[in-house]
Every structure is written in C-alpha cells, then in structure tokens.
C-alpha cells in the first residue's frame, strides 16, 4: 500500500475501504475467468472512481425466480441500491436481485481493494457494450442511448440531454427527442473530421415521416458534428433534406469542404415518407451508416445494384451512406476547400488534429424546428466498415 503521505484524499478513502471490507466469494473456473472483462470502473457513492481488474469472472445473483450465475463478460452495467443491484446485460436483458457476498474485489495499481456493496454506486466494464472482441477493434465510442443518464466515461465521452424521453426501442430502450426545449449531444475526445477514415452508425426512427423536409428552411437532421458550439459550419452532417445547396436531396451526407452524397436530386422528394430505401416503413426503425475514407472506398462485397446504387459508383469515391446495411448514395471529393480556396481558413481550423468535437442530435443552436426522432445504439469506428446486420447479404 502507498505511504499515507503519498496518498491524496480519494486514495486514502479507498485504502480505508480495503481495510474494512472482504472479497466476494464466488466460484470461478479458468474458462470463465478468460472471458471476464479486462478492466472495470467502480464508482463509489462519494463519487470516487477507480479502474482495475475484477477479482471474479462471474457474480451469483439471487433474483425473484431463483439463484443464477451471471458472467461478467455479459454485463454492461451494475447499479447498486440500498435494496440490491440492477444488472444490465449485453443482450439488453435487465435483472434485479441481491448479490452473494458483501463486497466487490478489484486488482488496482496499488494492490487489491474490496469495496463493500453499500459503498458502490455502479460498476461498468471499460469497454461496455463491445462484447465481441473482433468487433471491438477500432471502436471509439458505443452509446446505447437507452438512458438519459448513460455514462460514457469509459470512452472519455459525455452525453448531455434535456427534455428527452426514454421509450421502448427496437431492442430495449431508446431516447425520443423532439419536444420543446430538447437538447441532446455527446462531447467527443476526438474529431471524426480529422480521421482519414471512419464510420458512424446508429438506429433511428422518425415517428412522423410525413413532415415536410426543408419546411421553413430546415432539414430533418439525424446528427451534426461541430467542433465548438456556435460553429457556422458542420464538420459532418447526416440529414433528410429536400434541397442541399442545390445539389442533393433525400438522405444526404456532408463532410464540410469535401463530399456531398444524396439519394435524390434536389426537390425530388419532400418528405421522409417518399424515401424508397425505407422499405415502405418510413416510421419504423432503420439502421443508418455514414462511412468515409479519403484514400477511396472499395467494398467488393457490395452487390451490383442495390436500391439503384451501382457498384461502379463506389471506386474512387470517399463517402458512402447506407440504410439497413445497404448502400444508397456515395460521393467523391466535391465542394473543395483545398489550400488557397475560398474556405481554406475554416478548413484548416477543422483539420486541427488536437481539436475535440461535439456530436449533436438536437439543439445545436442552428436548427430549432422540433421533429420527433428516436435513437439507439450509436457506434463510431476508426475505420471504414460496412455494417454487419442480420438479414442483409451482399
């Protein structure tokens, strides 16, 4: 243990907890231990936090229907109350009950610490939500968007919302935005705009697809990335639009100073209901992906034709939009902001590799018209990847 004079107040508090607590006594085996999360974050009721390796691979839970063993590898969040614990699983199941033992043991940089359950607020795997090791490679952010208090600190990110609803989603809970005064954004520790390639994917539902796009000059925006509140130009944007700068309509994606991709010509469609790629279910849940690679995209597995999207449209292009896993629009390097161009100063600002960003779903200060939008399961990757969805074959 560290000498007292080297310990600040939070570490002293943790050391005292270690001295008076005992470890959870749970049977474990080698295979189960191999599947345990590498790191977990323990948040105490006094708001102290500590990251370490869990001392067990599973937890014994006494639920209303009996006692079960829950592998830590399947847990995305443990929330402790005075009456017991709530266990959220990767498959969106939620269990409540009481845990065997009296404390949770973590191996830290200064030894083993056993935290009494009564002192714990929550326990979360450092890579919560990314249960598959292969799929986790390159995952920069995974926001379930199933709670208005979701903790994204494992990704060094922060969700802030105001006046949103937690509703039934496609698979579990989701956030519903659109009431007066709604605000929803995620502060990111990085800028997607500065990345040479990447993917932003999520599930969304528009309950009122007959609303007119561009009504009053507004588009139906799914997300906007800005580098600071009040920026006049979005770094990245995905929206339903009737007419974007006189070039594109329908579902359109924009990287500022670069590509602009859209499913339709300007004024060709005036509402989401008219987007044929939504499979006659414009008010249902659909998966959206915004994929870019400045060196050029090439997905050989893309079919020759999908919703009118030709395979020969992709090579040499740098931006691809998909709906439900299928390509619907792509674009090359257009609207250039190259050195010496009319927008080169703003372009240089956006390309600053040290800059952070804010991903807005609602309330970015530029687009105020409220329209209902439900969201869940947002992921940001550091590479261009086609989403792998059940029932989609290329």
Which tens digits make up the pLDDT trace of 119-143? Answer: 998 888 764 333 333 346 789 999 9
pLDDT digits (tens, 9 = 90+) for 14-28: 443 333 333 333 333
What is the reported pLDDT for 16? 36
d(CA 368, CA 82): 42
Given this model, what pLDDT does residue 34 score?
A: 42
Average per-residue pLDDT for the chain: 75
Question: pLDDT of 323-334, one tens digit each?
Answer: 988 888 888 876
For the chain, list the domains and their CATH numbers.
4-125 (no CATH), 138-381 (2.60.120.200)
Residues 6 or more apart whose CB falls under 8 angstroms from that of 342 comprise: none
For the chain, the residue count is: 394
Predicted confidence at residue 183, as pLDDT, reads: 85
Between residues 348 and 150, which one has the greater pLDDT?
150
Closest CA to 313 of 290, 291, 329: 329
As a whole number of angstroms, the distance between CA 305 and CA 251 comes to 18
Please name the residue that has the structure tokens 């498959």.
Answer: 91
pLDDT at 103 over 80: yes
Adjacency order of strands within the sheet including 220-226: 158-162, 183-188, 357-362, 220-226, 236-244, 248-255, 260-264
Rounded distance between C-alpha atoms, residue 209 and residue 224, angstroms: 20
Amino acid 322: pLDDT: 92
Q: Which of 55-59, 109-113, 145-149, 206-210 has the lowest mean pLDDT?
A: 109-113
Condensed to tens digits (0 to 9), the pLDDT of residues 284-312 reads: 999 999 999 888 887 766 644 454 565 55
* pLDDT score for 289: 95
What confidence score (pLDDT) does residue 287 get?
A: 94
pTM score, whole prediction:
0.65
């Amino acid at each position: 243990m560290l000498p007292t004079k080297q310990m600040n107040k939070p570490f002293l508090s943790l050391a005292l907890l270690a001295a008076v607590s005992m470890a959870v006594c749970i049977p474990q085996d080698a295979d189960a231990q191999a599947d345990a999360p590498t790191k977990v974050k323990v948040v105490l009721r006094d708001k102290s936090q500590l990251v370490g390796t869990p001392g067990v691979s599973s937890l014994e839970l006494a639920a209303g229907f009996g006692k079960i063993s829950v592998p830590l590898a399947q847990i995305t969040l443990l929330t402790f109350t005075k009456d017991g614990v709530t266990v959220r699983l990767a498959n969106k199941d939620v269990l409540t009950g009481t845990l065997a033992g009296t404390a949770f043991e973590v191996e830290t940089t200064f030894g083993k610490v056993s935290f009494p359950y009564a002192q714990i607020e929550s326990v979360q795997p450092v890579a919560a939500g990314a249960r598959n090791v292969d799929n986790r490679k390159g995952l920069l952010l995974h926001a379930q968007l199933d709670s208005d208090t979701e903790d994204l600190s494992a990704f060094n990110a922060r969700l802030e919302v105001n006046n949103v609803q937690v509703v039934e989603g496609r698979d579990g809970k989701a956030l519903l935005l659109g009431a007066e005064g709604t605000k929803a954004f995620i502060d990111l520790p990085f800028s997607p705009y500065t990345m040479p390639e990447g993917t932003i994917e999520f599930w969304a539902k528009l309950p009122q697809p007959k609303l007119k796009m561009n009504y009053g000059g507004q588009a139906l925006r799914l997300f906007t990335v800005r580098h600071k509140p009040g920026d006049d130009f979005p770094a990245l944007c995905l929206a339903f639009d009737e007419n974007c700068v006189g070039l594109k309509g329908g579902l359109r994606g924009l990287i500022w100073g670069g590509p602009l991709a859209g499913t339709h010509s300007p004024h060709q469609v005036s509402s989401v209901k008219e987007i044929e790629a939504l499979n006659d279910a414009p008010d249902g849940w659909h998966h959206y992906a915004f994929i870019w690679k400045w060196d050029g995209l090439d997905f050989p597995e893309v079919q020759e034709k999908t919703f009118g999207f030709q395979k020969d449209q992709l090579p040499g292009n740098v931006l691809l939009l998909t709906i439900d896993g299928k390509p619907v629009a792509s674009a090359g390097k257009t609207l250039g902001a190259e050195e010496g161009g009319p927008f080169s100063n703003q372009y240089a600002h956006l390309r600053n590799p040290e800059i952070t960003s804010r991903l807005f779903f609602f309330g970015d200060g530029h687009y105020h018209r409220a329209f209902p939008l439900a969201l869940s399961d947002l992921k940001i990757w550091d590479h261009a990847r086609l989403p792998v969805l059940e029932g989609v074959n290329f």
